[in-house]
Structure 1
Amino acid sequence: MAPFHLFFLLSCAAALIFPSFSRSLEPSFTSKPSRSLAAAPPSPKPGPIQTNGKNFSKVCDPARFKELNLVIDDFAYCDKSLPYEVRVKDLVGRMTLTEKVAQLGDKADGVQRIGLPKYYWWSEALHGIATTGFGTHFGDIVPGATSFPTPILTAASFNESLWKTVAQAISTEGRAMYNLGHSGLTFWSPNINVVRDPRWGRALETPGEDPFMIGVYAINFVRGLQDVEQTAAQQDLTSRPLKVSGCCKHFAAYDLEKWFFEDRHKFDARVTEQDMVETFMRPFEVCVKEGDVSSVMCSFNKINGIPACADTNLMTRTFRDEYKLNGYIVSDCDSLDVIYHVMNWLGDTQEDAIGLDLNCGWGQYNIYQHWGESAVAQGKVRETDIDRALTNLYMVLMRTGFFDNIPAYENLGLADICNKENIELATEAARQGIVLLKNNNTLPLDPKKIKLAALVGPHANATAPMIGNYNGIPCRYTSPLDAIGKDVKVDYQQGCDVLCMNETAFAPAIASAKNADVTIILAGLSLDVEAEERDRMDLLLPGDQTDFINQVAAASKGPVVLVILSGGAVDITFAEINPKIGAIIWAGYPGEEGGQAIADVIFGRYNPAGKLPLTWYKNDYVDALPMTSMQLRPVDEFGYPGRTYKFFNGTVLYPFGYGLSYTVFNYSAINTTTSSLTLEVNTAEFCKPLSYMTKFTAPPCPSLNIADYKCSEEINFEVEVTNTGNMDGYHTALVYSKPPPEVANGPMKQLVAFQRVFVPAKQSAKLNFTVNACKALALVEKTAYIVFPAGKHTIVVGDGPELVSFPVEVKLQI
């Protein structure tokens, strides 16, 4: 019996004896949906900072200092003529040690005697301003904010400009809420962890499984949050202003919540350096180096025996020295207390856990605020280390305008939250991400030909499930029932909920399908099944949903459309092969306007163009390897098939990048300026070994160490995309590179570029691509060197039969 199968059986037996238990380290914030903000009455602007009952929009307001019986001219940190570093040094230098450590928690106490107010660091903006965190609250003045689709669906658009535009809208609403006293300026978003395993409960929060794509998403989302117009290219990053501060999380190798006896608070991710460099670290490197993110968050888990938040090699060498992080590092909430109480790592005391810039944790769990002075007294931490942490923190707050405000955003207010433009953007983001998985000439539907539509299933009248987690209170909800009911007469019968444990409730939905001209089934997952601290045990629909869908489809008089709401992959092979189910749509968790976006796709007002950012495996995947296996490449001795589209060597239901359209697109290669590259290598020291297939003789210089060679060579090519159908539509061309076939253990292919283009029916569009040769063709060797291999590479545009490809031969001469 394979090791995993034995482990699986033992775990199942043990699970029956010992009930599972997990404590959530993040508090639960729940609120009821509000009415539309469009009708909200005007309210006074309270400002973010209260002093003696009065509201101020910035720390360094002379009137505010007067309220404190202080003279602002006595405080150099409020002198705008001085550089930020000088001002921050003055601020930190005025504090006692007791006052310093009181600022190192997510609820910073402030120091009234020197004019420094309290500040709550923790706000979230994953897909809209969220209720999660102590820095943000809704109610009275701000009853809600725009709830965009969760990242997994927005990512499916493969549209860089959309990603940035959504983040810009979110940051505008966040800045407006700050002005109204309802939010901070530091948002711990986005989540850029790679989805290594389809069972992970937080897949909905991420851009998917491909590290290149996630990196591009991170750059655009962070730039959308942070960039102030006309200052984005400012060279002095220490003073470049921030619209709001973003945070790339959770570093690193984190994608396990709770699986049998493993949970994120104890899990030790045993990762090779090759996988770290190639997959788990790559989005973070890009986020810092190209996105200039101003914060990163470390994760709960251990990495090769060391808790991520205690690994000075990662935190200092990687982020500070190598990536040049210009900002602060924060712990995942209560992760430092987990190191002490749960992991009991190295028998450390609370004082030993101090080492980051900021500790997210409350009450006794805030290690820094409770034990910081003791750590200094015991000689375990230098006070200069605390000064450095405070400098990193207050430099970021200086850049956000916390002390001086930023004039361009001073007048943002209620009119900038939940406005018409943002609500339409939320709808458009959902439209662009929706993926058409199957269509046997069923869609689009013509509402004029439908007298009655049966609308059934767990999500047929979904509201809160559409917005997923790390959500705020939406401006409003447009459910599928709301939207589809505007187009056709609807008979709504839910039939079963997401957990679907009562088959006797199917009857009304089945009866509705028998009488309707068309049946639309909305099914899938919810936070009851996949969420933080909740991994899945399989890839199937919960409970009796499969039986429900099959019974409804069998009874249906007219065509059947199945819409799946989920973050992670679902094995719906039964629906793919069922001839009665004519079309399948994946709608992720589509946000507050998800119902409208779904209706627009179903009735043909929008031609779907989304592509899956995750591989959809069949359910036998979960029996093939344990969730605790971190290797990306196949492990033959255990029978592990590999992970993600780059390495999985089995059969899938729908591959990464899959997505249909109501029209047909074809490719043709027009021009490639580079079919071969010859690089003169000045010294053999730049050459590195490369793993080859058996019996292949390596050339004198098998590969080039990219770190040693400033590669400026480019690969230029042009592709024509032709819409041969009868409907206008968008299309995304995905570009992959394939390594030379003689290279061993390389990815089967890897994404290196993508472009989205609108092509009218019966017309063509040209796409021009320019990629850096070293980056596009690079591999990470098992030594963890990033190398540029010699040999015949292949560039591939597209997937399936319509793809075009061409070789690029690389010659390295010493």
Structure 2
Amino acid sequence: MDSYHFSSFFLCMITGFLVLIPPYYSTTLASAAAATPQHASEPGAIETGGKNYSKVCDAARFEALGLRKDDFAYCDSSLPYPARVKDLVGRMTLVEKILQLGDRAQGVGRIGLPKYGWWSEALHGIAVTGHATYFGDVVPAATSFPNVILAAASFNESLWKKIGQAVSTEGRAMYNLGHTGLNFWSPNVNVVRDPRWGRVLETPGEDPFVVGRYAVNFVRGMQDVEGTENVQDLDSRPLKVSTCCKHYAAYDLDNWFGVSRLHFDARVTEQDMVETFVRPFEMCVKEGDASSIMCSYNRVNGVPACADAKLLSQTLRNDWQLHGYIVSDCDSVEVMHERLKWLGDTAEDAVGQAMKAGLDLDCGLGNLNYYENYTLSAVAQGKVRESDIDNALKNLYMVLMRAGFFDNIEAYENLGLNDICTKEHIHLAADAARQAIVLLKNNLTLPLDPKKYKDVVLVGPHAKATKAMIGNYEGIPCRYVSPLDAIAKDVRVDYHEGCDVHCRSSRSVRPAVEAAKKAKATIIVAGLGLEVEREELDRNDLLLPGFQTELINRVAEASAGPVVLVIMAGGCVDVSFAQNNPKIGAILWAGYPGQEGGQAIADVIFGRHNPGGRLPLTWYKNEYVDALPMTSMQLRPNDQLGYPGRTYKFFNGTSLYPFGHGMSYTQFSYSRKNDSGIFLPIKVDNHHLCKLPSDKANATVDSHCPSISVDALGCKEEISFEVDVTNVGKVDGDDVVLVYSKPPKGVADAPLKQLVAFQRVYVESGKTSSVKFSLNACKALNLVEKTAYVVLHSGEHAIVVGDGDSAVSFPVEIELQL
């Protein structure tokens, strides 16, 4: 008798379940699951008797099952959700409950509960990834938007929300057609700590505030049902679809020189955790009302994230008040036991530790996962209580209640094929790419006049890109518009690939070089691809692969006319050679721009769109990777080891392009209407609330209050100001106004600066737009100390608007008054 059969039999014998459970429910989990057909794709929509239903609690569906809907209180829409969920869970036997704990929930036919697939993805459009989504027959495609790192470069919160709204509309339509579920495990809100990380393309960049604002807007766009955005009872707030912010926490290494995410122990200070790694997740839960969080594979300071009660139950549920469920990255519980050998425990121990830490749903890549395989024996061994299982199921089914799985949501009942790949969504995909493309260099080369440059040589591994434009966690797009397709509509094109992304040989470079000698202008589209950067594949360097640099240099040198270089990549690329090459007049970064990417690139090159994107992450020179290992989690510089800092907040070296860099075809100037500084006296009721700086622990507090915990203060003071943005050039365009705070001088370990606000504004040539900001003083000026306290320091802070010579700044004096 194998362990699964033995544990089930043992449990039944010691508890009397053989008497309590009908014979056909006293089967083992393995045989129960085997009786349920398994498919390569298991859509979340409800199929009964060969017919799809849009809701569980359809009277006709129950009749087809030989049941009466009115006999089941969980289908009584007059009852509150908690009462309905309690009734549903209470009707299940222990074995039946356990079979709902995996991402392919088996359902319980005798009570009318269907199977359900929890795993769908929608990172930048409905994706093929997951067990619950499939394309084909009825739904051949869905709109593919730019990958997240490029969308983030727009610094446009309303755009991020619109993308979420469009994706959720298509997701809801696909659900109605039986092609997906209602739960989408997106977005990825991990902060990019290291430029070598293979999943940079999936994220909103290196700044935790920007990442958090992206999360809030995308989640709100996906989840919010119009008219219910401000419902106070979050457990009853309906969801258009359910989202999941991932991967929690301190996860940003996949596979670097043999160090795998499955084994990696992220040694992180509490200061860095609070300041950087968990901040986007906190914003996602508190401000976005995300209905799910996914825990990551890695350990955090020795403890697997999915078994860390401090991270899950204490922080997510108790501190942040998550209204939703917690799911594992797929096979994380198995990884804890079989790969990490966590505490040398058994499989049942791993299940018990994860469930008691707060993990509700176990995603498994195989047919049966650890929760389904080992929870029954874990109960028998006293390592899991049935009440723990009940609590997990309540968290899961509350979300499905809110998402309309049981009752549907009237506003979305009629969504269907006509709501997928609409003209509006395709236009939005193109506009998103246009808004986000970043102009890195321009020596009066762009825009090109297609009337002047009628013949163009188009060169490079991505010049004819289609699938490469949509990156990973991709769907099947409505169509592809490659750079070649789009550019050929404006000019005559002589196309030469030169080489593929790996570019292992320079033999095919010569035809491209010969063509460039005769062309009016040359456009080179080069970069990276999923062959170089993706999940489970980190980079070893920041260079272009193979002979791509030689291809670019030789073509540029031979070119008779202006040369434009377009880089498709998620992570940064050291293109110092191109920045310093006078023959290369302009450089564009196009990320992975989605299905309409070619059109967006052409619109920027030929001047139909004035680029306004800004880099959401620092572009380092390649020497950075030799300065510190990817496994070092510390963000601040380590002088003893010679490590430079990470991200613009702490990097103490010279970058190729700094965070926020981005040029335009016009020029903008800033001015502040009131040039004076701001004085903010803040009353502190009790001197015991004052906090000494952690580096001055031996000092004493007198009448002066050096700093105070923000949680204790609860301040409402605002820093309000207006900035005039004037377009002093000759072309209308968008400008991204970035607002930073700088700490008082002498504060130990403080960031060089930190972003606290941003707005994208359109300004016509010769005109001025006034941009208003109102910042909460505690949120904008707080700092995280070594001890992980979030504090507001007294003294002279600074607000800086913009970067470089055009920036304007003013002091903000904080006086904490006892």
* TM-score normalised by L of structure 2: 0.93
Residues 552-607 of structure 1, C-alpha deviations (whole Å, 9 max, x = no match): 00000000000000000100000000000000000000000000000000000000
Distance apart, 1:673 and its partner CA: 8.2
Aligned pair 1:703/2:707, yes or no?
yes
| Unpaired stretches in structure 2, ≥5 consecutive residues | 1-38
Q: Which amino acid aligns with 2:199?
A: R
Q: Which amino acid aligns with 2:54?
A: S
Aligned pair 1:722/2:719, yes or no?
no
Q: 1:555 aligns with which of 555, 558, 562?
A: 558
The correspondence of residues 184-263 of structure 1 with structure 2, limited to 5 A, is 184-263=181-260
Q: 1:762 aligns with which of 747, 766, 769?
A: 766
Aligned pair 1:489/2:492, yes or no?
yes
1:108 aligns with 105
Residues 162-185 of structure 1, C-alpha deviations (whole Å, 9 max, x = no match): 000000000000000000000100
1:52 aligns with 49
Inter-partner Cα distance in structure 1 for 2:698 and 2:109: 73
1:181 aligns with 178
When residues 284 and 47 of structure 1 are mapped into structure 2, their CA distance, relative to the original with a 3 A threshold, is closer
When residues 238 and 215 of structure 1 are mapped into structure 2, their CA distance, relative to the original with a 3 A threshold, is same
1:119 aligns with 116
Q: 1:741 aligns with which of 740, 745, 762?
A: 745
1:144 aligns with 141
Residues 340-392 of structure 1, C-alpha deviations (whole Å, 9 max, x = no match): 11001101211122211000004366100111111111110110010000000
Distance apart, 1:684 and its partner CA: 2.1
Distance apart, 1:688 and its partner CA: 1.2
Distance apart, 1:511 and its partner CA: 1.1
Inter-partner Cα distance in structure 2 for 1:351 and 1:423: 49
Q: Helix, strand or coil: the match of 2:132?
A: coil
Inter-partner Cα distance in structure 2 for 1:384 and 1:186: 25
Residues 120-161 of structure 1, C-alpha deviations (whole Å, 9 max, x = no match): 000000000000001100000000000000000000000000
Aligned pair 1:788/2:785, yes or no?
no
Q: 1:651 aligns with which of 651, 654, 659?
A: 654
2:581 aligns with 578
Distance apart, 1:59 and its partner CA: 0.4
Aligned pair 1:523/2:520, yes or no?
no
Higher mean Cα deviation, 684-693 or 412-421?
684-693
Inter-partner Cα distance in structure 2 for 1:497 and 1:762: 44
Distance apart, 1:698 and its partner CA: 8.7
1:34 aligns with none
Aligned pair 1:134/2:131, yes or no?
yes
Distance apart, 1:672 and its partner CA: 6.7
1:638 aligns with 641
Native 8 Å contact 2:44 2:117 kept in 1? no
Inter-partner Cα distance in structure 2 for 1:693 and 1:521: 56
Native 8 Å contact 1:703 1:790 kept in 2? yes
Distance apart, 1:56 and its partner CA: 1.2
Distance apart, 1:512 and its partner CA: 1.2
Q: 1:384 aligns with which of 387, 390, 407?
A: 387
Q: Helix, strand or coil: the match of 1:552?
A: helix
Native 8 Å contact 1:691 1:745 kept in 2? no
2:32 aligns with none
2:681 aligns with 678
Inter-partner Cα distance in structure 2 for 1:30 and 1:147: 23
1:809 aligns with 813
Inter-partner Cα distance in structure 2 for 1:471 and 1:362: 18
Residues 1-27 of structure 1, C-alpha deviations (whole Å, 9 max, x = no match): xxxxxxxxxxxxxxxxxxxxxxxxxxx
Native 8 Å contact 2:457 2:494 kept in 1? yes
2:31 aligns with none
Residues 664-688 of structure 1, C-alpha deviations (whole Å, 9 max, x = no match): 0000011378611112212122111
Q: Which amino acid aligns with 1:250?
A: H
Aligned pair 1:402/2:388, yes or no?
no
Q: 1:712 aligns with which of 713, 716, 722?
A: 716
The correspondence of residues 427-576 of structure 1 with structure 2, limited to 5 A, is 427-576=430-579
2:296 aligns with 299
Q: Which amino acid aligns with 2:672?
A: A
Q: Helix, strand or coil: the match of 1:564?
A: strand
Inter-partner Cα distance in structure 1 for 2:732 and 2:505: 43
Q: Helix, strand or coil: the match of 1:277?
A: helix
Q: Which amino acid aligns with 1:69?
A: G
Q: Helix, strand or coil: the match of 2:272?
A: helix
Inter-partner Cα distance in structure 1 for 2:285 and 2:486: 41
Q: Helix, strand or coil: the match of 1:637?
A: coil
Q: Helix, strand or coil: the match of 2:609?
A: coil
Identity of aligned residues (%): 69
2:803 aligns with 799
When residues 667 and 692 of structure 1 are mapped into structure 2, their CA distance, relative to the original with a 3 A threshold, is farther
Native 8 Å contact 1:359 1:366 kept in 2? yes
Inter-partner Cα distance in structure 2 for 1:30 and 1:367: 19
When residues 227 and 674 of structure 1 are mapped into structure 2, their CA distance, relative to the original with a 3 A threshold, is farther
Residues 519-547 of structure 1, C-alpha deviations (whole Å, 9 max, x = no match): 00000000000000000000000111111
Inter-partner Cα distance in structure 2 for 1:708 and 1:49: 49
Q: Which amino acid aligns with 1:690?
A: P
Inter-partner Cα distance in structure 2 for 1:396 and 1:233: 17
Inter-partner Cα distance in structure 2 for 1:494 and 1:270: 44
Q: Helix, strand or coil: the match of 1:503?
A: coil
Q: Helix, strand or coil: the match of 2:653?
A: coil
Residues 62-120 of structure 1, C-alpha deviations (whole Å, 9 max, x = no match): 11111111111110000000000000000000000000000000000000000000000
Residues 480-504 of structure 1, C-alpha deviations (whole Å, 9 max, x = no match): 0000000000000000111001101
Native 8 Å contact 1:672 1:717 kept in 2? no
Inter-partner Cα distance in structure 1 for 2:662 and 2:590: 12
Residues 753-799 of structure 1, C-alpha deviations (whole Å, 9 max, x = no match): 00111100011110010000010000000010000001110000000
Q: Helix, strand or coil: the match of 1:671?
A: coil
Distance apart, 1:54 and its partner CA: 2.0
Distance apart, 1:276 and its partner CA: 0.2
Inter-partner Cα distance in structure 2 for 1:318 and 1:507: 59
2:363 aligns with 360
Inter-partner Cα distance in structure 2 for 1:772 and 1:598: 39
Q: Helix, strand or coil: the match of 1:677?
A: strand
Inter-partner Cα distance in structure 1 for 2:574 and 2:732: 31
Native 8 Å contact 1:692 1:742 kept in 2? no
Distance apart, 1:454 and its partner CA: 0.3
Aligned pair 1:286/2:266, yes or no?
no
Q: 2:325 aligns with which of 323, 328, 331?
A: 328
Inter-partner Cα distance in structure 1 for 2:760 and 2:699: 40
Residues 184-203 of structure 1, C-alpha deviations (whole Å, 9 max, x = no match): 00000000000000000000
Aligned pair 1:600/2:603, yes or no?
yes
Residues 425-469 of structure 1, C-alpha deviations (whole Å, 9 max, x = no match): 000000000000000000000000113100000100000000000
Inter-partner Cα distance in structure 1 for 2:582 and 2:688: 61
RMSD over aligned CA atoms reads: 1.7
Native 8 Å contact 1:453 1:491 kept in 2? yes
* TM-score normalised by L of structure 1: 0.93
Q: Helix, strand or coil: the match of 2:451?
A: helix
2:162 aligns with 165
